[in-house]
Structure 1
Amino acid sequence: MEEQKPASLLKSSLTSGIYIGVALILISVILYVAGLMFETWAQYVSWPILLGGAIWAQLAYRKSLGGEMTYGQAFGAGVLALIFASVLSSIYAYLLYAVIDPSLQEQLRILTEQRIIEKGNVPEEQLDMVVEMATKFQKPAILATFGILGGAFIGLIISLITAIFTKKNPSDLVPE
């Protein structure tokens, strides 16, 4: 009898990550077309996709393993899938800000300045310096880098939690 080869964590996570990344990009495109990218609530739209995507990636990997998966395997599948999704969506964000619509950088700078003024935490004589400093972190490459790092961190947190619920430890009973 031929022994079945275990599923590859990397391949399973990459496949799931691509689907999650495409979903994140589609949401971003919809927000961009609707002119809602910089709305405060829009930043929370991706959370259900990340949460659901991590669970989906973990369950898909568990299924490929034959229905049993340890906490570590579930955690790894979730983190890797969300890292791959973050890389994909960060590439899109870079292209959006650098190539597709470079005017978004100026719109983001203006919005940042307005929000700083509204909060009133910065004295007027320091406003230009603070806005200039914030603008340095709003370059497409830096936004993409922070998108990947942030996605990895969020993937870590989400996967630590969801792995608790998606794991299914191998049974101690050996079929006879």
Structure 2
Amino acid sequence: MEEKESAVKAGLNAGLILGIGSAILMFLVYFINPNFLVAGSFGFGLLILFVVVSVVLGIRYRKSIGGFISFGEAYKFSIIAFLVLILVSFVTGILLYTVIDTGLPSRLADQSIENTLAIMEKFGAADAFNDDQIDEMKESILEGYTFFGLMKTNLISLIIYGILALIVAAIVKKKDKSLEY
């Protein structure tokens, strides 16, 4: 009799797929146009992509273990996948921002401020910030690209991915109706 793959092992494999895919996308965007790394649409698009791929991988795992999975096992699968994704993204960020291109955080901070000011201008509040406030904003953004800044960001990501893992688990779970009486 064939032994079924555990949710933990399947989650680790899915997380590696998500993490490596995330790293590849991040480096592709870096080489094409690094400013897109701070675009809200890029981050939101990645989040949607991660959820869709997690659901597909979760359904594939469910089928591989007989077609049925409890919510708890589906959640275990998805939270482990997202934890591995967060870890790989953290390492990728450290490599990109502190080893490969140490000037990138400053350029991205400038782009973030430019994006913010453009949005403020659309609302008629272009003069809402003085130079000192803009400098403070830049320093705050730059802190986010340090080791501890990336660590803090990833801790916040844990909460977001924990909620997304619940959603993925709800989609992936499937009860065996033949066992009910």
Match in the other structure for 2:29: 31
Match in the other structure for 2:20: 22
Q: Which amino acid aligns with 2:10?
A: S
Q: Which ranges of structure 1 fall in alignment gaps of 5 or more residues?
A: none
Match in the other structure for 1:128: 135
The Cα shift of 1:107 comes to 0.5
Match in the other structure for 2:175: 169
Report how many residues are paired: 171
Contact kept in structure 2, 1:70 and 1:168, CA below 8 Å: yes
The Cα shift of 1:142 comes to 1.6
- In 2, the alpha carbon distance for the partners of 1:61 and 1:146 equals 31
The Cα shift of 1:20 comes to 0.9
Q: Which amino acid aligns with 1:158?
A: L
Superposition RMSD in Å: 2.5
Q: Which ranges of structure 2 fall in alignment gaps of 5 or more residues?
A: 121-125
Contact kept in structure 1, 2:70 and 2:173, CA below 8 Å: yes
Match in the other structure for 2:144: 137
Contact kept in structure 2, 1:79 and 1:152, CA below 8 Å: no
The Cα shift of 1:156 comes to 1.9
Q: Sequence identity, in percent?
A: 22
The Cα shift of 1:125 comes to 4.2
- In 2, the alpha carbon distance for the partners of 1:70 and 1:52 equals 19
Matched, 1:159 2:165: yes
Q: Which amino acid aligns with 2:108?
A: L
Q: Which amino acid aligns with 1:127?
A: I
Match in the other structure for 2:123: none
Match in the other structure for 2:79: 79
Question: Which secondary structure state, in structure 2, belongs to the residue aligned with residue 45 of structure 1?
Answer: helix
